Structure 1
Amino acid sequence: MHIDLLDPGPFARNDFWETFAWLRANDPVHRHPEPDGDGFWVLSKHRDISRVYTDSETFSSAGGMRLGSDPGAVAAVTQRMLIVSDAPQHTRLKRALHQALGPQRMPRIEALVEKVVAELALEYLERDTFDFIDLAKQLPNRVVCALMGIPHADWAWIGELTTEAFDSDDEMERSSAHSEIFLYFMELLRERRAHPADDLISHIAHDTQVDEGGGEQRPLTDEEIVFNCNGILSGANETTRYSAAGAVHQFAEHPEQWRLLKELGEAGVAPAVEEVLRWTTPGVHALRTVTRDTEINGTRIAAGDRVTLWNVSANRDEELFTDPHTFAVDRRPNRHIAFGHGRHLCLGAHLARFELAALLKEFTRTLDGFELSGPVRYNSSNFTWGIKSLPVRLLRRRVTAGAA
């Protein structure tokens, strides 16, 4: 089989699944050529990918998190941004940021998410047909903006910038949008340093400390805060947007799953969210650089080699999941790795789960289902992937004659 995971075509057509099925069965540690480089390793099995995620000493994140990364951009944020940091700095940063997103703040965050989702759903539930991605892309943006205390007047602009930064086909546009986001956060941080409020940026700036070891503690630097706020914004954007759209697509294609979710009630929401995350897996791959000679599944890997971890393949691994190509809202157990695994498990995983759960609850209360009203289109990325256009018709709950 011809394997080219650098070709955007199969991702735009949503027909790359057979490639990964073949790799899992025939070449789970595959050497992939590169037109202008030394090539890289492709891991497709859940067990191999999980093992690499948990061995951060052998498999470093500091060299970049994705294929095609700009080395200069990576160098600028290495060891200051979670996703391109290794221990011990990664551990210190994550522990510090966790203070602002920790269990003690979860009830307030969940309530805020439910409020934002209810308001957003209300704007769309009275419409007959619309492109669901218009709702889906606003969901994470509004939640993160509310959490960070960004003025409401700036929400739409931040949403447009975020879309440009991660979805634009033009590299210069993406770079420019990221720069604008960084500058905006820097200005917002200066304001919060002077006038703290009850928001995420204020808590990170004033209430969190990095443990340097030996009893030494320090506040996060401005750069660490800004880089990681951008990371939270981007992580929330890509995961929730594509997962929400993917969920509605499946419910339109498989109305029996929507009926089952409604029958299960609130107790069915949590497992449904996990299945949505497994099925959609917006974070397609992650990259690691090998620090010392090692072996993966019997294959020798040399120091300096790059290894790619294909989460989309791991989450359809036949060894771990029964009927992996079937969308099942009541799937248990569900050991997916949509948020990565181990030390680099996504910091915003709880937030994404809250958002998806709140959306499903709103919809199950008011809708009988969804119908597709036009062609479904996907983006062409091998890094963050999902539906970019989903025209739908909402099927509203029918009220029987004589009902109260």
Structure 2
Amino acid sequence: MEIDLTDPGLWARNEFGEVLAWLRHNEPVYRHQEKGGPGFWVLTRYADVVHVYGDDELFSSRYGMRLDSNPEAVAAVEGRMLIVTDPPEHTRIRQLVGTGLGRAAMPRIEESVRRVVSEVVSGAVAAGELDFLDAAKKIPNYVVCDLMGLPREHWEWVGDTMTESFDATDEDKLAADGELFLLFTELLMERRDNPGDDFISIVAQARRRDRTGEERQLTDEEIIVNCHGVLAGANETTRYVMSAGLLELAKAPEHVDWLRAAGPAGIATAVEEMLRWATPAVHVLRTVTRDTEIGGVPIAAGDRVTAWNPSANHDESVFAAPDRFVPDRTPNKHLAFGIGQHFCVGARLGRLELAAFLRELLARVTRIELTGEPRYNSSNFTWGLVSLPVRLR
């Protein structure tokens, strides 16, 4: 089989599953060639992916966490931005960033999620026929913008600009990121002087111990790059899970009937299956810090290792009938949010949004009909539907 996980067409055509399955069964530790680069290792088994997530000392994030990382950009934020920082510094930053999404913030978060999901789903049902991605992208964007206290008139622009920073060419991506950094800089200056109960204010007021043991607040740069990270994580993943779940409900109406009968417990298991099924965070990259081996294959210090979450979440040794969408699947120890120190800081928020979406959908919709062909993006980093024409009755 021809193996090229960097081929955009493989992802746009939704054909990567068979490639990952072949690797999982035949070469679970695979040396992937790379045009103009040194190549990288591909890990496709659940156990190997968990192994990489679980050893931050051996598999480092500080040199980049995706295949197309810009080394200079990574070096500029290493030690300051969660996703490219190793423990113990990662742990210190995570604790402070997490305060804005933690237990104390839950009442505000839950109210925001309820309000936004109700508004968006009711609008989608009123429209009747629509591209569901137009609605799905609003929910996580509106919620995170609300939690950060961004002015309402900026919400649409923020969502569009964040999507551009993921999907555009390098030059346009840089420009989009620059605009978002400027917005967060202005907001942070305002919240330092006039703090509220929003995410930016909470993180700006929190204090941490740095490497010397001295207690201090996060710097402006640390707050800005991590606000960008939280915004990116919220916008680019939850929409893909929602739309993938809706597609399965449209294809199999019996799942909707089951959800109506199962009640809250059914929604909880369906959310986890939607996460496993969609797995929008496709690969994570780590750099090996010393010679080791994985599955009996020698891996040299300095090599880049990639762990492929969709393959792990379809590993037959862990999940029965992994190629079926099973809304009552249990147990369901998927890796859609990762595992270990880099477990997604927004996982609780994502689950709240997905559960609220299913509740509103079941309350307002009796039938979901596909009116066109689903289309997917071409990314091997964050992947999912970009178009899902439907009629909601």
User: TM-score with structure 1 length normalisation?
Assistant: 0.95
Residue 107 of structure 2 is aligned to residue 107 of structure 1: yes
SS at match of 1:126: helix
Distance in 1, Cα, partners of 2:65 & 2:102: 25
Distance in 2, Cα, partners of 1:385 & 1:213: 36
Note the 1:2-401 alignment, pairs <5 A: 2-168=2-168, 170-206=169-205, 208-212=206-210, 216-395=214-393
Question: Alpha-carbon deviations, 1:268-315, whole Å to 9, x = none?
Answer: 111111100000000000000000011111111000000000001001
Question: Alpha-carbon deviations, 1:161-187, whole Å to 9, x = none?
Answer: 11211123x221111111100111011
SS at match of 1:288: strand
Give, as a single letter, the amino acid of the residue that structure 1 aligns with 2:91.
Answer: T
Question: Alpha-carbon deviations, 1:109-156, whole Å to 9, x = none?
Answer: 112211111111122211221000000111111000100000111111
Distance in 2, Cα, partners of 1:344 & 1:309: 13
Distance in 2, Cα, partners of 1:266 & 1:21: 33
Give, as a single letter, the amino acid of the residue that structure 2 aligns with 1:98.
Answer: G
Q: Where does residue 398 of structure 1 map in the other structure?
A: none
- Cα 1:142/1:205, change in 2 over 3 Å: same
Mapped contact 2:117–2:357 kept (Cα < 8 A): yes
Mapped contact 1:117–1:359 kept (Cα < 8 A): yes
Count of aligned pairs between the two proteins = 393
| CA RMSD across the alignment | 1.1
Distance in 2, Cα, partners of 1:364 & 1:265: 10
Question: Alpha-carbon deviations, 1:340-362, whole Å to 9, x = none?
Answer: 11000010111111111111110
Distance in 1, Cα, partners of 2:362 & 2:249: 11
Mapped contact 2:273–2:326 kept (Cα < 8 A): yes
- Cα 1:157/1:214, change in 2 over 3 Å: closer
Give, as a single letter, the amino acid of the residue that structure 1 aligns with 2:93.
Answer: L
How much has 1:214 moved relative to structure 2?
7.6
Segments of 4+ moved more than 4 angstroms: none
Distance in 2, Cα, partners of 1:21 & 1:213: 43
Give, as a single letter, the amino acid of the residue that structure 1 aligns with 2:19.
Answer: T
Flag structure 2 segments of 5+ consecutive residues without an equivalent.
none
Give, as a single letter, the amino acid of the residue that structure 2 aligns with 1:49.
Answer: V
Give, as a single letter, the amino acid of the residue that structure 1 aligns with 2:32.
Answer: H
Question: Alpha-carbon deviations, 1:204-235, whole Å to 9, x = none?
Answer: 111x1112378632100101100000000000
Distance in 1, Cα, partners of 2:189 & 2:370: 46
- Cα 1:74/1:16, change in 2 over 3 Å: same
Distance in 2, Cα, partners of 1:383 & 1:334: 23
Give, as a single letter, the amino acid of the residue that structure 2 aligns with 1:381.
Answer: S
Give, as a single letter, the amino acid of the residue that structure 2 aligns with 1:8.
Answer: P
Give, as a single letter, the amino acid of the residue that structure 2 aligns with 1:353.
Answer: R
How much has 1:73 moved relative to structure 2?
1.2
User: TM-score with structure 2 length normalisation?
Assistant: 0.98
How much has 1:369 moved relative to structure 2?
2.8
Distance in 2, Cα, partners of 1:245 & 1:174: 25
Give, as a single letter, the amino acid of the residue that structure 1 aligns with 2:80.
Answer: R
Mapped contact 1:251–1:369 kept (Cα < 8 A): no
Flag structure 1 segments of 5+ consecutive residues without an equivalent.
396-404
